[in-house]
Amino acid sequence: MSDYKLLIDGKLVDGASTMEVVNPATEQVLAICPRGSEQQMDQAVKAAKAAFPAWSRRKVEERRAMLMTLADRIEARQEELARLLTEEQGKPIAEATAEIIYSGAFIRSMASLDLQVKTLEDNETRRVEVHRLPLGVVGAIIPWNFPVLLLTFKVPAALIAGNTVVIKPAPTTPLTSLRLGEIMAEIFPPGVVNIVTDQNDLGAYLTQHPDVAKISFTGSSATGKKVMAAAASTLKRITLELGGNDAAIVLPGADPETVAPGIFGGAFMNAGQVCLAIKRAYVHESIYDQVVDRLAALANAAVVDSGLHQGTTIGPLQNRMQYEKIKDYLEVARKDGRIVAGGEVEDRPGYFIRPTIVADIDDTSRLVAEEQFGPVLPVVKYADPEDALKRANASPWGLGGSVWGSDRQKAREIALQMETGTAWINKHLDFGPNIPFGGAKQSGLGVELAEEGLAEFTQVHVINEAL
């Protein structure tokens, strides 16, 4: 059997069956992984439910200390975890190392928070307090693009608030989560944290389970709608961090030499497989050609290779399904626009596609209107900034967006009107555990991170006392 184990009720156990995990850089089997069953998912939920009363009554200082220990242990195994993350996810080792480092920092930041009792009134007739109580069992459904970091968006907040957790990793990137499970088994009491893998067949079971009080899901908007529908049967609390089609608006007067590297980095980090990545760039006609040329030069200079190889800047797509999807978008790019860099599928094993810049394309193309989630960036020419803003806001998604330009007042004016959860000015993909993160429109419900995100794992409980 595999040396990877599920974590259920404090025990590391085999799955009911096994499944293969593929290295996206080689298309070879990386590991044999345990695959959980409905019965095992039910055991995990029951264990979390049984552990909840004692865990929720523990002093917050004790819960905090355990989370800080978790951060210490992750950092101590940074090199091992980063390599494993690159092998199963594909991202360059430098990005994987950063993800592990940031994960430790996010755990520490969320663990340091404390939702204090708020006193609304305290007079001669009554005292009114607002408490924040834990919900119970939280189901955390993790995607494949940032399998460690996005776990730390959810689990530390759930635990510090007094909830217990059942984690369901993505089936193509379960290995780092299971290694974290080994660490967690040594730190937390049995049942407080559980990890059960699947082949995308247990998500509905977890979401509909009557003993699960909340689902925290990160993934596509289509799946998020299914999660929301399934949660309705018991009116579960839900947090949905879904897809995005982030627009970058480059204003007239912007310096192409300054703007292009920022846009390129914001579009192609993790091979473009970032919910908050720039998915379309609107560039003013006065500087359009210069920005396109500079983006093309950056794309041509990118080193596309295995994430374990020194100097690699862009790794493979994470899985074959996404790889085939991006190949289809390349055909759309050839039909609807002009490919000025990239556009090629690497002729070798692995899900490699060179970063692609597409010019002379408009909003009627699927490449602009849809979330491609890969290394293909359409660059759209515009004449009027207000028109560019209108076109950016026309999307059904509203996760993030950015405005680039030397006129800070105009950039701020545009940013304030972007229908997004986050709007950056002269940067993109800048976030942190102390900054609330959430989407507008079909990009999600609720907020993660910061005190606002912590509050999502709690129930408002008002004490209204006669004096």
Catalytic pick among 241, 371, 448, 456: 241
Are 5 and 14 spatial neighbours (Cβ–Cβ below 8 Å)? Answer: yes
Pairing of strands 137-141, 440-441: unpaired
- Residue 75 annotated among the catalytic residues of the structure: no
In the set 275, 371, 448, 456, the catalytic residue is: 275
371 is catalytic: no
Provide the 3-class DSSP secondary structure of residue 185. helix
Report the 10 Å Cβ neighbour count for 371.
21
CA distance 155 to 230: 21
Residue 418 to residue 391: CA distance in whole angstroms: 10
**Helix locations, 317-418, DSSP H:** 320-336, 366-369, 385-393, 408-416
Q: Running DSSP on this structure, what letter comes out for residue 437?
A: B
Residue 179 has φ and ψ, to the nearest 5°, of -65, -40
Residue 288: CB atoms within 10 Å:
21
Enclosing H/E stretch for 21: strand 17-23
Q: Which residue has the tokens 């004490």?
A: 463
Cα–Cα distance, 269 to 264 (Å, whole number): 8
Cα distance between residue 204 and residue 291, in whole Å = 45
Q: Looking at residue 345, what DSSP letter applies?
A: B
Adjacent-strand bridge partners of 67:
none
Provide the terminal-to-terminal Cα distance of the chain, rounded to the nearest Å.
Answer: 64
Strand 278-284 versus strand 246-250 pairing type: parallel
Between CA 206 and CA 49 the distance in angstroms is 13
Nearest to residue 380, comparing CAs of 243, 244, 250, 246? 250
The one-letter amino acid code at 180 reads L
| Structure-block tokens of residue 336 | 């609807």
- Identify the bridge partners of residue 339 per DSSP, sorted by sequence position: 358
Can you name the residues that pair with 215 across neighbouring β-strands?
139, 238
With vertex at residue 152, the alpha carbon angle to CA 444 and CA 218, rounded to the nearest 5 degrees, is: 25
Report the alpha-carbon distance of residue 144 to residue 200 in Å, rounded. 12
Assigned token pair, 346: 């690497």
293 by DSSP, 3-state: which?
helix
What's the gap between Cα 290 and its chain centre?
32
Active site residues: 241, 275
